[in-house]
């Protein structure tokens, strides 16, 4: 049975700050398409009053919440609505994770296995009979495409090709690469190393890194998420406090989970290291703003890209760092897509019972992308990438990969030497 944690302080319990204005419900992507979902106001502060008296008031319909935090961004009174909902799921839900949930949530285990036989796994997961079995037996929707696995892990590439040269730089950062970069798309990690080295920073891996745990939290495995979180925070603490290296990330969701969800949902204290953990685009933008680094770009680079605001980027308020960096590229025409949830919410959109809702939530975004017809879409979240690529056919790139493509490495090195 999955180990559960008992939260000492259920979601900060600031439900009494609710003004009953219902703005949160107007912004909730699930409420917009699902009449059976009680909505953020009712699921959050309203029902919490009753749940605190008696857990029988817990409603399993709360599992429909995406934990997108758009309700919290909209709330004029700072109620931690989604935290209240997620904390109540962790504390009261009687639902136990099934095999599918464990497979989807244990990204380190599944990724390590898949990397060993990546071409076979990638082909097999695309076959219709396999999809039918996954749908019927496991509950993974047959319409969903899985992200391809890489034959070489990012960590392996780094050890063979980058580790030896990183000490030669004058300044240093650490990199929390996350599961997606390690098992599926090492190129994003290589792109970050390329940029940081060009501006004079050595990039180091953390002493130990585990999956941030976002999928474990969403799938009812909060005990395991807490253990993994403690390993990550201890490595981040060593990097920030002992090695004096800021920890960079390239995934908005991993960043948000470690900076905020660890403390709010897993009772892990991150206060002393929270500011030492940041998205690479934010770190780079701030260095440029302070005049500490300069970037030079290729003259022949041309791109018309559409930026998608991932929900957790909205919550952190960090969209501006990624978009302002992209706008620095002379050949870039950047279009801002309307800020709306793409509907995947990590593993949520993979599940048979959620697939249709997930696609309905993202439908407006998919339509807008097709109408704009950009060269590519760009976003800071890898699961938004999977959803948009599958649902529109347009390629989706992380802003760091676009910067790396557009960078004139030699000229940038000269500017920063
Ligand atoms: S937006 Fe905030 S204040 Fe308004 S109903 Fe929702 S939780 Fe209450
Ligand atoms: S977190 Fe997102 S899905 Fe959940 S209640 Fe808030 S707005 Fe709705």
The whole-angstrom separation of Cα 176 and Cα 214 is 14
Tens digits of per-residue pLDDT, 163-185? Answer: 999 999 999 999 999 999 999 99
Cα 370 from chain centre: 24
Which residues sit opposite 96 in a β-bridge?
none
Ligand 1 centroid to Cα of residue 34, in Å, is 19
Tens digit of pLDDT for each residue in 212-238?
999 999 888 999 999 999 999 999 999
pLDDT tens column, 76-101: 999 999 999 999 998 888 888 888 88
DSSP 182-202: III-HHHHHHHHHHHHHTTEE
d(CA 130, ligand 2 centre) in Å: 33
Q: Is the pLDDT confidence value at 3 over 60?
A: no
For residue 100, report the distance from its CA to the centre of ligand 2, in Å: 23
Residue nearest to atom 6 of ligand 1 (CA): 24
203 has which bridge partners? 173
| Residue 2 confidence (pLDDT) above 80 | no
Rounded to whole angstroms, how far apart are CA atoms 65 and 47?
14
- Position 280 scores a pLDDT of 98
Question: Average pLDDT over the chain, rounded to whole?
Answer: 92
User: What percent of the chain is predicted at pLDDT more than 90?
Assistant: 74
Please give the Cα distance from 59 to 366 (Å, whole number): 31
CB atoms within 10 A of CB 100: 18
Flag the least confident range among 26-30, 55-59, 271-275, 385-389.
Answer: 55-59
Q: Which residues contact 400 (CB under 8 A, 6 or more apart)?
A: 188, 191, 192, 195, 250, 280, 281
Helix (H, G, I), strand (E, B) or coil at 376: strand
- Give the closest residue to 1 by CA, choosing from 101, 86, 83: 101
30 lines ligand 2 (CB under 6 A): yes
First to last CA, the chain: 56
- Tokens standing for residue 264: 């709010």
CB count in 10 Å sphere of residue 402: 22
Question: Whole-angstrom Cα distance, residue 329 to residue 132?
Answer: 45
What radius of gyration do the chain's Cα atoms show? 21
The ligand 1 atom at the shortest distance from the C-alpha of residue 44 is 7
What residue owns the CA closest to ligand 2's atom 6?
Answer: 71
> Measured at the alpha carbon of residue 184, what is the angle toward residues 181 and 190, in degrees to the nearest 5?
40
Q: How far is the CA of 155 from the centre of ligand 2 (A)?
A: 35
> What number is the average pLDDT over the span 52-74?
92
**From the CB of 22, is ligand 1 less than 6 Å away?**
yes
Q: Is-contact 369 376, C-beta < 8 A?
A: no
CA of 75 relative to ligand 1 center, distance in Å: 5
Mutate to test the pocket of ligand 2, among 29, 36, 40, 84 (most ligand atoms within 8 A of CB): 40
Taking the centre of ligand 2 as the mean of its atom positions, its distance from the CA of residue 345, in whole angstroms, is 11
77 CB within 6 A, ligand 1: yes
Q: Which ligand is nearest to the CA of 16?
A: 1
pLDDT at residue 170, as a whole number: 95
Ligand 2: residue whose CA is nearest its atom 7: 28
Q: Whose CA is nearest to atom 4 of ligand 1?
A: 21
> Greater confidence, 13 or 263?
263
Chain length of the chain: 417
Cα of 170 vs centre of ligand 1, distance in Å, is 49
- What is the pLDDT at residue 5? 55
Residues 407/298, Cβ–Cβ less than 8 Å: yes
Give nearest CA residue, ligand 2 atom 5: 40
pLDDT-derived band at 12 (thresholds 50, 70, 90) equals low
How many CB atoms sit inside 10 A of residue 191's CB?
A: 24
- Predicted confidence at residue 58, as pLDDT, reads 87
Can you tell me the distance from the alpha carbon of 211 to that of 214, in angstroms, rounded to the nearest whole number? 8
Cα(256)–Cα(258) distance, integer angstroms: 6
Spatial separation of the C-alpha atoms in residues 257 and 382, rounded to whole Å: 14
**Of 415, 352, 365, 358, which is closest to residue 394 (Cα–Cα)?**
365
The predicted pLDDT at position 1 comes to 42
Nearest CA to ligand 2 atom 8: 28
Q: Using alpha carbons only, what angle is made at residue 381 by residues 35 and 177, rounded to the nearest 5 degrees?
A: 140
CATH classification for the domain delimited by 303-409, as one of 3.40.30, 3.30.530, 3.40.50, 2.70.98: 3.40.50
Q: Which fold has domain 10-92?
A: Fumarate Reductase Iron-sulfur Protein; Chain B, domain 2 (1.10.1060)
Is the pLDDT at 144 greater than 60? The verdict is: yes
Tell how far the Cα of 244 is from the centroid of ligand 2, in angstroms. 37
**E-strand stretches of 269-390:** 277-279, 303-307, 332-336, 376-378
CB of residue 21 inside a 6 A radius of ligand 1: yes
**Percentage of the chain modeled with pLDDT above 70:** 97
Cβ-based neighbours of 391, under 8 Å, separated by 6 or more? 342, 359, 362, 366
23 lines ligand 1 (CB under 6 A): yes
- Provide the residue ranges of all domains of the chain, joining segments of one domain with +: 10-92, 303-409
Residue 26 Cα, ligand 1 centroid: separation in angstroms? 10
- Return the DSSP state at 317: T
Neighbours of 239 (CB within 10 A): 25
């Amino acid at each position: 049975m999955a180990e559960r944690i008992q939260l000492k302080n259920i979601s900060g319990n600031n439900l009494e700050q609710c003004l009953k204005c219902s703005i949160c419900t107007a912004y909730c992507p699930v409420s917009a398409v699902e009449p059976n979902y009680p909505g953020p106001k009712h699921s959050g502060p309203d029902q919490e009053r009753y749940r605190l008296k008696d857990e029988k008031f817990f409603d399993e319909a709360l599992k429909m919440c995406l934990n997108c935090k758009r309700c919290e961004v909209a709330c004029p009174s700072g109620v931690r609505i989604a935290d209240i909902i997620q904390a109540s799921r962790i504390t009261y839900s009687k639902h136990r994770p099934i095999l599918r949930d464990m497979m989807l949530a244990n990204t380190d285990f599944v990724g390590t296995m898949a990397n060993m036989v990546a071409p076979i796994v990638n082909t097999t997961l695309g076959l219709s009979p396999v999809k039918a079995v996954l749908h019927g037996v496991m509950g993974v929707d047959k319409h969903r495409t899985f992200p391809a696995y890489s034959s070489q892990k990012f960590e392996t590439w780094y050890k063979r090709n980058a580790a030896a040269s990183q000490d030669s730089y004058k300044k240093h950062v650490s990199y929390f690469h996350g599961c997606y970069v390690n098992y599926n798309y090492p190129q994003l990690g290589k792109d970050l190393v390329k940029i940081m080295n060009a501006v004079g920073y050595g990039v180091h891996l953390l002493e130990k890194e585990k999956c941030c745990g976002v999928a474990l939290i969403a799938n009812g495995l909060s005990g395991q998420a807490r253990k993994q979180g403690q390993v990550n925070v201890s490595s981040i603490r060593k990097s920030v406090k002992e090695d004096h290296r800021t920890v960079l990330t390239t995934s908005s969701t991993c960043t948000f989970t470690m900076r905020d969800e660890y403390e709010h949902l897993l009772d892990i204290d991150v206060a002393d290291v929270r500011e030492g953990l940041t998205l690479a685009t934010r770190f780079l933008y701030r260095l440029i703003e302070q005049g500490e680094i300069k970037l030079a770009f290729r003259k022949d680079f041309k791109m018309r890209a559409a930026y998608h605001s991932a929900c957790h980027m909205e919550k952190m308020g960090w969209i501006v760092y990624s978009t302002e960096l992209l706008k620095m590229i002379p050949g870039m025409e950047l279009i801002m897509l309307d800020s709306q949830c793409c509907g995947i919410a990590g593993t949520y959109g993979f599940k048979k019972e959620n697939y249709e809702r997930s696609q309905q939530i993202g439908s407006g975004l998919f339509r807008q992308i097709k109408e704009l017809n950009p060269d590519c879409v760009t976003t800071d979240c890898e699961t938004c990438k999977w959803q948009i690529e599958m649902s529109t056919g347009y390629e989706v790139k992380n802003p760091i990969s676009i910067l790396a493509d557009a960078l004139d490495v030699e000229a940038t090195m000269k500017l920063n030497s």
